[in-house]
């Protein structure tokens, strides 16, 4: 055996291996052809001897060529590919046998690298991160990370005692991607990337593409291979067959924070796990008649009081409630019960935690370098640099990932307004105009358009909804018409105006009548979803029921009227957990909802009303088939401010067959025999009365369950009838089938 002659720069190269400054350690380490054989070079710091085991009669003892731990030897007559293992002995006499990670070619192909660089790799999460695989019969994990400004990168973890000297990665050309296949590493191993910056610093970073994470406050990534067997083929096939967002279908969303919906009965400080939540939440939502749940972000986040809106893991669910496969089972079970699952998703900003995305490779990588664009003044977070191909790819792939890998039925994009405007929450001089001198963030606009184009094209039938609080035009219009391409937009104007109106004492409501009716001026400019969300019952805003005026009975009556108006108004609807029975106190994310309040008939009545609203809603096409066209709505009486009465009609695709009249008396006085115009003659049936005793009401109008339309023109209709309206009451009327 001969080690061969050293080249003049061998000492420098070996020193670079030892120092970790060699960008491509595979060019030196591993097996390499030479004239007459193969040279095997290994780096094992602190070892006293290294032997190459080739399966031949003679093992090859490697010679130490650098005191830092570089060993090499020539196997004469050998050729590549060469299968071998290393036997390493340490000063204490311990000997280990291992497969050389530097004996393997790159696990990323040229096409993957090319698409990643262009920002068009829709499944980049299947290549970056940690992936268990078998190569040449050897099981291990392929690690890859994007860190273009790093001087060197090593993968550290349970498999190498977190020693950054042992498994340094190679860079794949100009892509900025570092890669290493590590035999023996597998599922459950914790790991991070040890990144050496060009300034000489060393940082430990969690994997941006990790599929699993440690339970906070621990911050390591965890190697994970999905093993859940999905049972929702029928659900997914129906979703794909729909081909587009369900604009003409009933959508009634129950917004949930998993950690505080209900706590463990054995320990109120402990949230329920995914398995228990799947069973209990699905049963409750199904009983209440909601069509979907929307989860406050389940993506990994270190700080629980952020409710998930400061995300650090864009490809891993939070481990607070269980494992990734248990969350898959959660979604699977809700689908089995006929319930869709929407996920809040946060592409606008991310937290500054040193172990996460911030200054990932020692440079401003995921965030903008200029603090006037890269730092968010409201939330103390960093803003994604959506103009960078790889960052845009990261976010687009994340959205697709949850729809594909977790079968999510849609995403609700948080804080869209903060993405659209460069001067959002910034004073003069604190923001940078775009190339045309305007305040629009053109890169973020392009990202959102591409997001919706890709999401709807690749995952037909999914929902994308924007929380957007400004008058940006065309948020829910197709991109080919100049819109952003979302399926739905939250109607924040309706929410603010309606809550202001309902907070007024009925005596003064006539002065605020326009706040109740104004939303219909713009109701059909977007595909609106009406939200009464968590944002309305936190940070000192009080609970929904406490926003209502009057004594407790009047508060609950107002709440029932509010919900009946919401369900009858054009658009889909979303209600935050606890609001369905009028929880008395403001929401606290660290406590369970106050389920004991349901022993009170008043709160139970509100819950019963919401259950009935959902039941009638799903059975009445007039309430959902034509939500986004003026043909599905008609004012009957919008102007009776003095009486605090509003009457309107809703129509389905066939208005002659599907109609509903909603009559609202939002004063504290009864309105018996209030003549109301009706779209057609014949008999009309009361299908809902918010003042019914079953809902905790007085039953003042309970005697009128059916009425006959008279040929008396009224409210611009050819027919009308006197309708009894209870104080703070709403009734729904539908024509009887002939």
Q: How do strand 375-376 and strand 381-383 relate by DSSP bridges?
A: antiparallel
| Structure token digits, residue 207 | 């994997």
Who's near 308: CB < 8 A, 6+ residues apart? Answer: 257, 296, 297, 298, 299, 301, 318, 344, 346
CB half-sphere exposure, 650, CA atoms < 13 A: 25
Give the C-alpha separation, 28 to 447, whole Å.
41
User: What count of other Cβ atoms lies within 10 Å of the Cβ of residue 312?
Assistant: 24
- Asked if residue 162 lies in contact with residue 156, where contact means CB atoms within 8 angstroms, the answer is yes
Give the C-alpha separation, 287 to 568, whole Å.
21
Question: Tokens 């103390």 identify what position?
Answer: 380
Give the C-alpha separation, 714 to 661, whole Å.
14
Who's near 591: CB < 8 A, 6+ residues apart? Answer: 260, 263, 268
3-state secondary structure of 589: coil
- Asked if residue 325 lies in contact with residue 319, where contact means CB atoms within 8 angstroms, the answer is no
Active site residue 427: no
Question: Tokens 């009925």 identify what position?
Answer: 506
In 302-380, where do the E strands start and end? 313-317, 340-345, 349-350, 375-376
Give the C-alpha separation, 524 to 515, whole Å.
17
Active site residue 467: yes
CB half-sphere exposure, 24, CA atoms < 13 A: 10
Active-site residue among 112, 255, 359, 414?
414
Active-site residue among 367, 467, 515, 689?
467
User: CA-CA distances (angstroms) from residue 194 to 168, 199, 362?
Assistant: 9, 14, 11
- Asked if residue 585 lies in contact with residue 635, where contact means CB atoms within 8 angstroms, the answer is no
Task: Name the residues annotated as catalytic.
Answer: 414, 467
């Amino acid at each position: 055996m001969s080690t061969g002659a050293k080249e003049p720069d061998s000492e420098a190269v070996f020193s670079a291996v030892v120092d970790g400054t060699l960008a491509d350690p595979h060019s030196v380490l591993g097996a390499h052809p030479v004239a007459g054989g193969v040279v095997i070079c290994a780096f094992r710091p602190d070892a006293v001897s290294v032997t190459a085991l080739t399966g031949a009669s003679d093992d090859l003892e490697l010679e130490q060529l650098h005191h830092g731990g570089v060993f090499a030897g020539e196997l004469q007559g050998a050729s590549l590919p060469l299968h071998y293992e290393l036997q390493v002995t340490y000063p204490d006499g311990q000997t280990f046998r291992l497969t050389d990670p530097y004996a393997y070619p790159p696990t990323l192909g040229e096409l993957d690298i090319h698409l990643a660089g262009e920002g068009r790799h829709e499944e980049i999460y299947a290549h970056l991160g940690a992936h268990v695989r078998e190569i040449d019969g050897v099981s291990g994990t392929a690690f890859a990370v994007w860190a273009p400004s790093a001087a060197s990168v090593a993968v550290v973890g349970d498999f190498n005692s977190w020693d950054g000297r042992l498994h340094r990665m190679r860079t794949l050309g100009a892509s900025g991607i570092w890669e290493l296949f590590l035999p023996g590493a597998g599922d459950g191993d914790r790991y991070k990337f040890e990144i050496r910056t060009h300034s000489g610093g060393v940082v430990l970073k969690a994997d941006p593409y990790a599929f699993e994470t440690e339970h906070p406050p621990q911050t390591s990534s965890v190697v994970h291979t999905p093993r859940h067997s999905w049972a929702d083929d029928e659900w997914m096939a129906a979703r794909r067959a729909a081909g587009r967002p369900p604009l003409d279908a009933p959508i009634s969303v129950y917004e949930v924070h998993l950690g505080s919906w209900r706590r463990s009965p054995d320990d109120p400080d402990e949230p329920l796990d995914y398995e228990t939540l799947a069973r209990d939440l699905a049963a409750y939502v199904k009983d209440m008649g909601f069509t979907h749940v929307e989860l406050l972000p389940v993506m990994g986040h270190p700080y629980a009081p952020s409710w998930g809106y400061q995300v650090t893991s864009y490809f891993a669910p939070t481990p607070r409630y269980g494992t990734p496969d248990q969350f898959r089972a959660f979604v699977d079970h809700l689908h089995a019960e006929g319930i869709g699952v929407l996920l809040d998703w946060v592409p606008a900003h991310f937290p500054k935690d040193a172990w996460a995305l911030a200054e990932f490779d020692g440079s401003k990588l995921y965030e903008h370098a200029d603090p006037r664009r890269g730092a968010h003044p409201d939330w103390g977070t960093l803003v994604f640099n959506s103009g960078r191909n790889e960052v845009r790819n990261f976010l687009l792939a994340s959205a697709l990932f949850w729809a594909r890998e977790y079968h999510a039925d849609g995403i609700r994009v948080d804080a869209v307004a903060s993405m659209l405007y460069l001067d959002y929450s910034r004073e003069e001089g604190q923001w940078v105009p775009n190339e045309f001198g305007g305040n629009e963030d053109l890169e973020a606009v392009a990202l959102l358009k591409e997001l919706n184009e890709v999401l709807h094209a690749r995952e037909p039938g999914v929902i994308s909804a924007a929380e957007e609080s400004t008058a940006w035009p065309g948020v829910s219009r197709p991109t080919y018409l100049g819109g952003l391409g979302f399926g739905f937009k939250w109607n924040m104007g309706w929410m603010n105006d309606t809550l202001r109106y309902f907070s007024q004492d009925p005596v003064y409501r006539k002065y605020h009548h326009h706040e109740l009716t104004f939303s219909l001026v713009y109701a059909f400019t977007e595909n609106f979803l009406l939200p009464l969300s968590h944002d309305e019952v936190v940070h000192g805003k009080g609970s929904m029921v406490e926003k209502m005026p009057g004594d407790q009975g009047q508060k609950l009556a107002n709440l029932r009227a509010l919900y009946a108006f919401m369900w009858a108004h054009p658009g889909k609807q979303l209600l935050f957990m606890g609001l369905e029975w009028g929880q008395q106190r403001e929401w606290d994310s660290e406590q369970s909802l106050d389920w004991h309040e349901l022993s009170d008939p008043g709160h139970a009545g509100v819950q019963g009303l919401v259950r009935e609203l959902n039941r009638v809603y799903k059975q009445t096409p007039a309430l959902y088939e034509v939500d986004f066209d003026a043909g599905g709505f008609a004012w009957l009486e919008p102007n009776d401010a003095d009486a605090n009465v509003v009457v309107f009609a809703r129509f389905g695709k066939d208005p002659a067959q599907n109609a509903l009249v909603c009559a609202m008396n939002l004063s504290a006085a009864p309105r018996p025999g209030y003549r109301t115009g009706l779209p057609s003659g014949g008999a009309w049936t009361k299908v809902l009365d918010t003042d019914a005793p079953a809902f905790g009401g007085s039953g003042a109008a309970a005697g009128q369950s059916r009425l006959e339309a008279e040929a008396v023109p009224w409210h611009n209709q050819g027919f009308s009838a006197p309708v009894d309206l209870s104080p703070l009451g709403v009734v729904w009327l539908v024509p009887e089938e002939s």
